[in-house]
Amino acid sequence: MQKTLSGNPDTGSFLSHGPAATGKQLLSADRVAVWWLLLDEIRDADWEKLDSILIDEEQERSDRFHFERDRQVYIAAHAACRGLLSYCLGEPPRNWRFSVEDHGKPELICPPGQPRYRVNISHTRGLAAVALAREHDIGVDVEWLQRDAPADDLAKRMFAESERLKVKDATGPEKLETFLSFWTLKEAYVKAIGKGLSQPLDAFAFDLETDEISFRDGLADTAANWYFERYRPGPEHLMALAVRHPDKSSLIVDPQPAPLTYLLDLAGTHN
């Protein structure tokens, strides 16, 4: 079931108590932190500060985007990513380094013998998001609801039969929303396993009533190990989260709007 997010920090959440103090980390093995950033909320004067949180290679990449809106969403996603790592784990934002796995998934480099933190980002028109967990595979995906996508055609080519029928039966604006609800869940899963679109999307299916996954080949993966959530971070966007966890009942997922003031303050930290 989709959760509507208010945009106001939930005071009962572990992320709402402020950033990690020196030497203390906010993330236990059962906690998952999620931040999203709506680009409309960022003022023109803030972009330079957010850009300064990125490392040199990221800044060079951001400079290569042709369209300003693509550049901005890239900066927002990577600033939010570095910011969330610093907020939860307590190091300066430009300290974090990533390796790139076989199918392009960036993995945080953690010192041997230390907990392995896992982070994933997603960006779309007007919205960036980042999700962070300790040890567990994690994936996040966001999509813009105003996009022009041939929902029936794409579902027919890429989705499982049950999903294709749900998209086909939906009418009006619900068609695209149904398609993108499946799409974000499916992308969150393929990003969590690190395979991206090299993983055929029709090999598994979601039930939008329960947000549970099932696999065409029952041996391919274990549905009971996966936890999914869907959100509505704003009227124009959908977001989905995938976490592989052996005991879903103990998971504490904390989705919050990224605190822009914290991110802008980070821009003044030098390392």
Residues that bind ligand COA (CB under 6 A): 74, 77, 103-106, 120-123, 141, 149, 183, 187, 190-191, 194, 196-197
Residue 92 or 196 having the CB closest to ligand COA:
196
Residue 49 or 105 having the CB closest to ligand COA:
105
- Please give the Cα distance from 65 to 193 (Å, whole number): 28
For residue 149, the minimal CB distance to ligand COA (Å) is 4
Render the burial of 70-103: b for 16+ CB within 10 Å, e for the rest.
Answer: ebbbbbbbbbbbbbbbbbbbeeebbebeeeeeee
For residue 187, the minimal CB distance to ligand COA (Å) is 5
For residue 12, the minimal CB distance to ligand COA (Å) is 29
3-state helix, strand, coil in the chain (%, to 5): 40, 25, 35
For residue 57, the minimal CB distance to ligand COA (Å) is 11
- Nearest residue to ligand COA by CB is 196
- Please give the Cα distance from 85 to 96 (Å, whole number): 8
Residue 62 or 256 having the CB closest to ligand COA:
62
Residue 109 or 197 having the CB closest to ligand COA:
197
Q: How many other CB atoms are found less than 10 A from the CB of residue 132?
A: 26
| Residue spans of alpha helices (H) in 113-205 | 151-158, 161-169, 173-192
Residue 123 or 245 having the CB closest to ligand COA:
123
For residue 191, the minimal CB distance to ligand COA (Å) is 4
